């Protein structure tokens, strides 16, 4: 049972999304099984209405995982197990605003009491690996069924890993970080609803970090993650909160050529929706028009 209720109108929009995406995948020789989404709107009693395709697809998440790291940091700041300081504030901002891997890895070190890279002896390595499971434990404690199968125990890398990071990946049962569209959608819903996940001020801080401004002078910078993603072609005046991620060739087929986005939008007419899309395949990951077209399609239909 999902946290949302199936909605006939949204199912119709989902069918249009699939009808748009499937021929593009076919024309480029990419299996359509490497496409998934969750589309949600607010519903009665705080239970969203929605529809989805392959919502439990376990996939390398690229930088979408950074939303989980931001929430984990806020949870640990709230319970006092993490101390507030200016560098942490700067890292949380840059992790989302510019999708900085360095900022993310700084936060992972703080949350797990680890550092990376150089090799360790077997005893120290076992201790280190157990500590690295801390972020998985943070989210397991929420007891959300939608989080089943996710993994958050790896740092973010621009290419291959070395030293203890490589050994830890080889020894990790789940392997690389992984998310599902439904896990991402559940967290986004919790951030933007009265879920009680965090105190109100921390909810607001997380939401503020996720804001994307279509008129920002940074809009054209790839690190801002608006151009080429779901929010790129939304109507003027749309309010946007999002976190995207993309990998090209990383030297590891298990993590290469993904492009994902998770978006909350409020259209000029007041219609609100959450849309999470996962994709895999070089011809899709390199296409700057694929995700914007899906975002625009959803917005057009929901504005009617």
Q: Vertex 155, ends 144 and 152: CA angle to 5°?
A: 10
Q: Is 53 helix (H, G, I), strand (E, B) or coil?
A: strand
Per-residue pLDDT of 235-265, as tens digits, reads 999 999 999 999 999 999 999 999 999 999 9
pLDDT-derived band at 2, boundaries 50, 70, 90: confident
Class of domain 5-303: alpha beta
**pLDDT of the residue at 290:** 98
pLDDT confidence tier of residue 198, bands split at 50, 70 and 90: very high
CB 298 within 8 A of CB 39: yes
What are the boundaries of each domain within the chain? 5-303
Distance CA 272, CA 208 (A): 17
E strand intervals along 12-131: 35-41, 49-53
Question: Model confidence at 187, in pLDDT bands (50, 70, 90)?
Answer: very high
State phi, psi for 293 to the nearest 5 degrees: -65, -35
Q: What is the pLDDT of residue 247?
A: 96
Distance CA 273, CA 138 (A): 27
Beta-carbon-side half-sphere exposure of residue 58 (alpha carbons within 13 Å)? 13
pLDDT per position as a tens digit, 8-40: 999 999 999 999 999 999 999 999 999 999 999
pLDDT confidence bin for 184, thresholds 50/70/90: very high
- For residues 131 and 218, the model is more confident at 131
Q: What six digits make up the tokens of 108?
A: 């992972």
- Give mean pLDDT, residues 52-60: 98
What percentage of the chain carries pLDDT values higher than 70?
100
φ and ψ at residue 18, rounded to 5 degrees: -65, -40
Query: pTM here?
Result: 0.97
Question: Among 13, 18, 36, 82, which Cα is nearest to 279's?
Answer: 36
pLDDT of residue 186: 98
**pLDDT at position 245, please?**
97
Q: What average pLDDT does range 118-137 have in this prediction? A: 97
């Amino acid at each position: 049972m999902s946290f949302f209720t199936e909605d006939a109108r949204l199912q119709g929009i989902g069918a249009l999304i699939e009808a748009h995406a499937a021929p593009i995948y076919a024309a480029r020789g990419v299996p359509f099984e490497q496409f998934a989404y969750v589309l949600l709107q607010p519903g009665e009693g705080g239970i969203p209405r929605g529809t989805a395709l392959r919502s439990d697809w376990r996939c390398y998440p690229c930088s979408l995982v950074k939303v989980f790291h931001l929430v984990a940091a806020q949870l640990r700041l709230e319970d006092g197990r993490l101390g507030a300081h200016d560098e942490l504030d700067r890292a949380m901002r840059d992790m989302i605003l510019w999708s900085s891997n360095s900022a993310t890895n700084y936060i992972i070190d703080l949350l797990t009491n680890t550092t990376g890279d150089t090799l360790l002896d077997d005893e120290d390595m076992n201790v280190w690996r157990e500590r690295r499971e801390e972020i998985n434990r943070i989210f397991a404690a929420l007891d959300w069924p939608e989080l089943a199968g996710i993994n958050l125990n790896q740092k973010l890398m621009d290419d291959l890993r070395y030293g203890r990071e490589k050994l830890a990946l080889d020894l990790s049962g789940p392997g690389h970080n992984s998310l599902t569209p439904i896990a991402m959608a559940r967290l986004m819903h919790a951030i933007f609803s009265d879920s009680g996940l965090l105190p109100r001020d921390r909810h607001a801080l997380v939401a503020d970090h996720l804001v994307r401004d279509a008129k920002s002078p940074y809009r054209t910078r790839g690190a801002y993650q608006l151009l080429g993603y779901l929010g790129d072609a939304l109507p003027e005046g749309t309010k946007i909160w999002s976190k995207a991620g993309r990998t090209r060739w990383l030297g590891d087929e298990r993590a290469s050529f993904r492009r994902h986005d998770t978006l909350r939008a409020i259209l000029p007419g007041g219609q609100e929706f959450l849309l999470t899309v996962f994709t895999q395949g070089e011809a899709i990951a390199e296409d700057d028009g694929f995700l914007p077209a899906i975002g625009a399609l959803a917005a057009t239909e929901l504005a009617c």
